[in-house]
C-alpha cells in the first residue's frame, strides 16, 4: 500500500485492509455505495480537543469556519463539543441556528454581506460582525439603526504578510480583496466608534489557508498588536483579537504545527505585548475537519494509453474540486492490499473536462471494481461540491467504533431537478 504513514487518527491498516475506526472501508463502500465521504467521529473529537487544550481555564474561543464543512451532522458535533461558528452567509447562519448554536457564539466574516443577511444576523443576536470596508460599516449602521439595535463589530485588517501558501488561498496580501488596508484602519475605527448603533469590540485578521509554519501567524500577530497600540492611543479599547483560521494539515508530507502550538504561540505573544487580558478568538476550518475523512470511490475502467494510464473512477471534480481548482495533491490509495502489479495511474473522474482529475501519477495496484480512498478529504470537499454533469450529491456518513450514522443521504435525480420549472405554454409554440 502506498499510503505514507502515519495514518490520520481514526484510520488504520489492519491485516492489509484500511479501516475507519472499527469498520473496513471497502465494506462501507459496498454497504452505502460510492462516492462516499466517511468521517471518523473520534478524529474530529481529538482535533477539537487539541485546539481546546491550551484554551482551558481562559475566555479564549474557537469558532469553526463552517465553509470548510457545513454538514449539519458535523456542525452538531462541533456545537456539542463547545465550538462556536464563523459564518460567511445567511445560509451558514441558518445552518448554525438549525443545530441549536448559541448566537452569542457566532461571528460573521466575509466581504459582501447583504442587507438581508445583516438583518437576519442582528435578529438572531450574533456575537460580532467582522467588517471589511467603510461602505459595509455604513450599511450595518443603517440596518442596525432601522432595527433599533446595536451591532458589535471587529475590523478585519489586512496585515500584508505572506502566508507562503497557494496564491488562490492567500488572503493577507495587499493585492487581495480581503480586509482593510493596515494604514487606513485607524480611520475606520474612529468612524465606527462615533456611530450610534455600532459598538467596537475587536480586531481580526485572516491571512490565508493551509499555512504550515508558525512565522506568518506571528508576523501578522505583531502587526495586529501594533494596531491595537495605535487604537489605544486614540482612546479606542477592544475586548478581543480574532486571529482567523488558516492552520494547515498534512496531505502528503507537510509538517504543520499542532493546533495547541499555534494557540500557545499567539497567547504568549499577546501576553508579552501586554495584552494578556484580551480574549483571543480562532476561526479554524480545515485543521478541525480535513484529516477526519476519506472520500471513497470505485474504479469503473482501467484505460492504459500510449502516454498515460488512466484509472477512471465514479467520483469527479464535482465531488471534490481541490485537485482541479488548486492543483492540490491529495493522495489516493488502495483500501485492500492485492497482488496486481503496481503501475503509475492518473485517477480521473467521469466529467467531460480534462481538468477532471483527482490524483496524478500515483503508484497503485488496482483492478476495475476496486474501492480507492482519498485521505484528508474532510475540508472543502463536500462543501464545495456541485452537481455539474447532473451528478447527484455524494453521501456522507460518520463512523464511531462499529456504529455508522448517515449524515447526508445520497442525492437523487429528483433532487437535481427540484427547483427547476418547465416553461409556460406561450402563443408562438
Choice from 68, 118, 373, 399 touching ligand LLP (CB under 6 A): 68
- Does 240 engage in binding with ligand LLP (CB under 6 A)? no
Q: Which three cell numbers stand for residue 231?
A: 487604537
Smallest distance from the beta carbon of 206 to ligand LLP, in angstroms?
4
In terms of CB distance, is 286 or 391 closer to ligand LLP? 286
Taking Cα atoms as reference points, which of 245, 252, 315, 332 lies closest to residue 69?
A: 245
User: Euclidean distance between the first and final Cα of the chain, in Å?
Assistant: 61
Smallest distance from the beta carbon of 204 to ligand LLP, in angstroms?
8
β partners of residue 181: 158
- Does 61 engage in binding with ligand LLP (CB under 6 A)? no
- Does 87 engage in binding with ligand LLP (CB under 6 A)? no
Q: Are 351 and 326 in contact (CB under 8 A)?
A: no
DSSP SS3 for 47: helix
10 Å Cβ neighbour count for 343? 14
Alpha carbon distance 162, 155 (integer Å) = 20
**Contact pattern from residue 106 through residue 135 relative to ligand LLP, giving x for each residue in contact according to CB under 6 A and a dash for the rest:** ---x--------------------------
* Window of 114-122, 238-246, 258-266, 336-344 that interacts with ligand LLP by CB under 6 A: 238-246
* Window of 5-13, 282-290, 351-359, 412-420 that interacts with ligand LLP by CB under 6 A: 282-290
Among residue numbers 31 through 50, which ones bind ligand LLP (CB under 6 A)? none
In terms of CB distance, is 73 or 245 closer to ligand LLP? 245
In terms of CB distance, is 299 or 320 closer to ligand LLP? 320
- Does 209 engage in binding with ligand LLP (CB under 6 A)? yes
In terms of CB distance, is 179 or 345 closer to ligand LLP? 179
In our burial notation (b when 16+ CB lie closer than 10 A, e otherwise), range 90-99 reads bebbebbbeb
- Does 221 engage in binding with ligand LLP (CB under 6 A)? no
- Does 291 engage in binding with ligand LLP (CB under 6 A)? no
Smallest distance from the beta carbon of 68 to ligand LLP, in angstroms?
5
Number of residues that bind ligand LLP (CB under 6 A): 21
Alpha carbon distance 19, 8 (integer Å) = 11
Q: Are 80 and 49 in contact (CB under 8 A)?
A: no
Taking Cα atoms as reference points, which of 147, 376, 160, 343 lies closest to residue 256?
A: 376
Choice from 23, 65, 96, 121 touching ligand LLP (CB under 6 A): 65
- Does 322 engage in binding with ligand LLP (CB under 6 A)? yes
* Window of 29-37, 121-129, 279-287, 336-344 that interacts with ligand LLP by CB under 6 A: 279-287
- Helices 259-272 and 41-53: crossing angle in degrees, nearest 10, is 20
Q: Are 397 and 404 in contact (CB under 8 A)?
A: yes
In terms of CB distance, is 11 or 380 closer to ligand LLP? 380
Smallest distance from the beta carbon of 284 to ligand LLP, in angstroms?
4
Taking Cα atoms as reference points, which of 371, 342, 429 lies closest to residue 27?
A: 371
Smallest distance from the beta carbon of 282 to ligand LLP, in angstroms?
9
DSSP state of 82: T
In terms of CB distance, is 105 or 286 closer to ligand LLP? 286
Smallest distance from the beta carbon of 322 to ligand LLP, in angstroms?
5
Under the phi-then-psi rule, with left for phi > 0, alpha for psi from -120 to 50, and beta for the rest, what region is 377? alpha
Among residue numbers 245 through 264, which ones bind ligand LLP (CB under 6 A)? 245-247
Among residue numbers 331 through 390, which ones bind ligand LLP (CB under 6 A)? 380
Output the CA torsion sign for 31, 32, 34, 39. negative
Active site includes 20?
no
Alpha carbon distance 54, 358 (integer Å) = 36
In terms of CB distance, is 330 or 404 closer to ligand LLP? 330
Element (H, E) at 374: strand 371-374
- Does 286 engage in binding with ligand LLP (CB under 6 A)? yes
DSSP state of 249: -
Q: Are 88 and 111 in contact (CB under 8 A)?
A: no
Q: Are 240 and 154 in contact (CB under 8 A)?
A: yes
- Does 169 engage in binding with ligand LLP (CB under 6 A)? yes
- Does 283 engage in binding with ligand LLP (CB under 6 A)? yes
Element (H, E) at 279: strand 279-282
In terms of CB distance, is 8 or 246 closer to ligand LLP? 246
Q: Which three cell numbers stand for residue 404?
A: 455508522
C-alpha angle with apex 330: 327 to 332, nearest 5 degrees? 130
Choice from 21, 86, 117, 120 touching ligand LLP (CB under 6 A): 86
Residues that bind ligand LLP (CB under 6 A): 65, 67-68, 86, 109, 169, 206, 209-210, 244-247, 283-287, 322, 326, 380
Active site residues: 352
Amino acid at each position: 500500500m502506498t499510503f505514507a504513514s502515519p495514518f490520520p487518527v481514526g484510520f488504520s491498516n489492519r491485516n492489509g485492509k484500511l479501516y475507519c475506526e472499527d469498520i473496513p472501508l471497502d465494506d462501507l463502500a459496498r454497504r452505502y455505495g460510492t462516492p462516499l465521504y466517511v468521517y471518523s467521529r473520534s478524529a474530529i473529537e481529538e482535533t477539537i480537543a487539541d485546539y481546546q487544550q491550551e484554551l482551558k481555564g481562559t475566555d479564549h474561543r474557537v469558532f469553526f469556519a463552517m465553509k470548510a464543512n457545513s454538514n449539519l451532522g458535523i456542525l452538531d458535533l462541533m456545537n456539542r463539543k463547545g465550538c462556536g461558528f464563523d459564518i460567511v452567509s445567511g445560509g451558514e447562519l441558518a445552518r448554525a441556528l438549525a443545530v441549536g448554536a448559541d448566537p452569542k457564539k457566532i461571528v460573521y466574516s466575509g466581504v459582501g454581506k447583504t442587507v438581508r443577511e445583516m438583518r437576519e444576523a442582528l435578529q438572531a443576536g450574533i456575537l460580532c460582525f467582522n467588517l471589511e470596508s467603510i461602505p459595509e460599516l455604513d450599511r450595518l449602521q443603517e440596518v442596525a439603526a432601522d432595527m433599533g439595535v446595536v451591532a458589535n463589530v471587529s475590523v478585519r485588517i489586512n496585515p500584508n504578510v505572506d502566508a507562503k501558501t497557494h496564491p488562490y488561498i492567500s488572503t493577507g496580501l495587499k493585492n487581495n480583496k480581503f480586509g482593510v488596508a493596515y494604514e487606513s484602519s485607524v480611520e475606520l475605527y474612529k468612524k465606527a466608534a462615533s456611530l450610534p448603533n455600532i459598538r467596537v469590540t475587536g480586531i481580526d485578521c485572516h491571512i490565508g489557508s493551509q499555512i504550515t509554519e508558525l512565522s506568518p501567524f506571528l508576523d501578522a500577530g505583531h502587526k495586529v498588536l501594533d494596531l491595537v497600540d495605535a487604537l489605544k492611543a486614540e482612546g479606542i479599547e477592544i475586548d478581543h483579537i480574532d486571529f482567523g483560521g488558516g492552520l494547515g494539515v498534512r496531505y502528503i508530507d507537510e509538517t504543520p504545527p499542532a493546533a495547541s502550538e499555534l494557540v500557545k504561540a499567539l497567547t504568549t505573544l499577546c501576553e508579552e505585548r501586554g495584552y494578556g487580558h484580551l480574549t483571543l478568538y480562532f476561526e479554524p476550518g480545515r485543521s478541525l475537519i480535513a484529516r477526519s475523512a476519506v472520500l471513497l470511490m470505485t474504479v469503473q475502467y482501467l484505460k492504459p494509453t500510449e502516454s498515460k494510464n488512466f484509472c477512471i473512477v465514479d467520483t469527479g471534480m464535482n465531488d471534490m474540486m481541490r485537485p482541479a481548482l488548486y492543483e492540490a495533491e491529495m493522495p489516493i490509495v488502495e483500501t485492500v492490499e492485492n497482488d496486481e502489479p503496481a503501475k503509475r495511474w492518473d485517477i480521473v473522474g467521469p466529467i467531460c473536462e480534462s481538468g477532471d482529475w483527482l490524483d496524478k501519477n500515483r503508484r497503485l495496484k488496482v483492478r476495475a471494481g476496486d474501492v480507492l480512498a482519498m485521505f484528508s478529504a474532510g475540508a472543502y470537499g463536500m462543501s464545495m461540491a456541485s452537481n455539474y454533469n447532473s451528478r447527484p450529491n455524494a453521501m456522507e456518513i460518520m463512523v464511531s467504533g462499529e456504529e455508522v450514522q448517515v449524515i447526508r443521504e445520497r442525492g437523487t435525480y429528483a433532487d437535481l431537478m427540484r427547483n427547476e420549472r418547465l416553461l409556460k405554454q406561450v402563443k408562438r409554440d
